[in-house]
Chain A
Amino acid sequence: MKFWIGVAVTVALATGLALSRANEYFFYAGFVVLQFVVLATAWNILGGYAGYVNFGTAAFFGIGAYTAVVLFKAAGAPLALQILAAAAISGLLGFGTGLLTLRLRGIFFSIATVAVIFIMETAMVNWRYVGGATGMQLLRPPVMEPFESYTRMLFVAMAILALIAVSIARYIEVSWIGRGLRAIRDSEEAAECFGVPTLRLKLFACTVSGALMGAAGAAMPMYMSFIEPPSSFSLTYSVSALAMPMIGGTSHWLGPVIGAILLGSVQQIVTVTISSEINVLVVGVLLVVFVVAAPDGILGLLKKLGWLLRSSR
Chain B
Amino acid sequence: MAAALLQVKGVSKRFGGFAALSEVSLEVAAGERFGLIGPNGSGKTTLINCVSGALRNEAGSIVFGGEEISRLAAYQRTRRGIARSFQIPRPFHSMSVLENLVVPLGYVARLNDADAHAEALRILQTIGLADKAQTPSNRLSQVELRKLELARAMAARPRLLISDEAMAGLAGNEVEEVLKILFALNATGITIIMIEHIMQAVMRFSQRVICLDAGRIICEGTPADIVKNPDVQRAYLGA
Give the residues in chain B near A170, CB-CB below 8 Å. Answer: none
Q: Which residues of B contact A198 (CB under 8 A)?
A: 75
Contact stretch, chosen from B16-24, B84-92, B229-237: B84-92
Cβ–Cβ < 8 Å partners of A183 in chain B? 92, 95, 103
Residues of B within 8 A of A189 (CB): 54, 86, 90
Q: B106 near A: Cβ within 8 Å?
A: yes
> Which residues on the B side are within 8 Å of A74 (C-beta)?
none
Question: Residue B104 contacts which of A186, A187, A194, A251 (CB distance < 8 angstroms)?
Answer: A194
Contact B79 A195 (CB under 8 A): yes
CB-based contact A196/B94 at 8 Å: no
- Chain B residues touching A, range: 20 to 34
A224 adjacent to chain B (CB < 8 Å): no
In chain A between 185 and 206, which residues have their CB closer than 8 angstroms to a CB of chain B? 185-187, 189-199
- Report if A91 contacts B (CB, 8 A): no
The reply to whether the CB of A180 lies closer than 8 angstroms to some CB of chain B is: yes
Report the tally of A-B residue pairs with Cβ distances under 8 A: 76
Q: How far is the CA of A189 from the CA of B73 in the complex (A)?
A: 12
Number of residues from A at the complex interface, CB < 8 A: 20
Q: Which of B102-139 contact A (CB under 8 A)?
A: 102-104, 106-108, 113
CB B85 to nearest CB in A, in angstroms, measures 9
A152 interface hit (Cβ, 8 Å): no
**Which B residues touch A199, using CB under 8 A?**
73
Q: Quick check: is B152 within 8 A (CB to CB) of the other chain?
A: yes
Does A190 lie within 8 Å of B54, measured CB to CB?
no
Question: In the complex the two chains form, is A197's CB within 8 Å of B73's CB?
Answer: yes
A108 contacts partner chain B, Cβ-Cβ < 8 Å = no
A193–B95 touching, CB < 8 Å:
no
Is B93 located at the chain interface by the 8 A CB criterion? yes
CB of A195 within 8 A of CB of B90, answer: no
Residues on A with C-beta less than 8 A from B52 are: 193
Q: Which 9 A-B pairs have the closest CB atoms?
A: A195-B107, A195-B108, A186-B92, A194-B104, A190-B90, A187-B90, A192-B74, A195-B78, A176-B106
A182-B94, A194-B75 provided; 6 other pairs, C-beta below 8 A? A176-B113, A182-B95, A186-B94, A189-B86, A193-B86, A195-B107
